[in-house]
Amino acid sequence: MSRTLWFAAGAGASMYAMRKARRVKEALTADGLRDRAGALALGARLAREEIAQGKVEKESELRERLGLAPLPATPQLTASTTPRPQEGSN
């Protein structure tokens, strides 16, 4: 019983190690590093937008609480419904 248990544990550990090594190898390729950099940039942008939104909300709340004039409305960007022409296509 003991040998079977240790054999199964060793086989499971080696399968786990091989899978982990394959993932690390794939992550360190050019595409993997590019994906990680893109994800990092996206995360930083989302965090920056979240912080900016929080600042605006908190300032509005404080202005309301202190009886100051509300913030002027800022125009919101909207997506254009007309497609932009592709560069290089004639």
What predicted TM-score, i.e. pTM, was given to this entire model? 0.52
How far is the CA of 70 from the CAs of 20, 55, 67, 77, 85, in angstroms?
Answer: 54, 14, 9, 21, 40
How far is the CA of 37 from the CAs of 26, 27, 29, 33, 46, in angstroms?
Answer: 14, 11, 12, 6, 14
Each residue's pLDDT tens digit, 50-78: 999 999 999 999 998 988 887 776 666 56
Axis crossing angle, helix 30-66 with helix 2-27, rounded to the nearest 10: 80
Each residue's pLDDT tens digit, 4-56: 999 999 999 999 999 999 999 988 999 989 999 999 999 999 999 999 999 99
- Residue 90, H or E segment: none
